Amino acid sequence: METWMAEAGLTLHPEKMRVVDATQKGGFEFLGWHFERGYKWPRRKSIQKLKDSVRARTKRNNGHDMCSIIKLVNSITRGWGNYFRGGVQKVPKSLDQWIRMRLRSIFRKRDKRKGRGHGRDHNRYPNA
């Protein structure tokens, strides 16, 4: 590893470096990923940063039209998804559900309805 890092022009920080067994419980985090037991998925901090970014752009009273909001959210999620593709498939699905819930809440607000939406709202607003 050290030779590869030297060839790439990178250096290891001696206090931060440690040897771990990725097949054991607990794993480790590196470059926004969490590695554990042969699997990898985005770490919680990476997911939270994406949610914070989407949350800032999907406020219920922002006044922008839905097309511009969706284009902005798509560009954010496309970049994030390209970096984190190849991980556990459960994470993107749950994030997609969360983002759709945020968009449905904007539709609900514009229809003068309360809340984030539950039940049959996915039928009422099928593309959100």
Which two structure tokens, joined as six digits, stand for 60? 């219920």
Q: What is the pLDDT of residue 13?
A: 80
Per-residue confidence band for 119, with pLDDT thresholds at 50, 70 and 90:
low
Asked if the model's pLDDT at residue 82 lies above 80, the reply is yes
Rounded CA separation 72/117 (Å):
22
Q: What pLDDT is stored for residue 127 in this prediction?
A: 66
Average pLDDT over the chain reads 84
Q: Strand, helix or coil at 51?
A: helix
Q: Exposure of 100 by Cβ count < 10 A (0-12 exposed, 13-18 middle, 19+ buried)?
A: middle
State the residue range of the domain holding 106: 2-124
* Rounded distance between C-alpha atoms, residue 117 and residue 106, angstroms: 10
- On the question of pLDDT at 33 being above 70, the answer is yes
Q: What is the pLDDT of residue 78?
A: 93
Domain count, the chain: 1
Is the pLDDT assigned to residue 1 strictly greater than 80? no
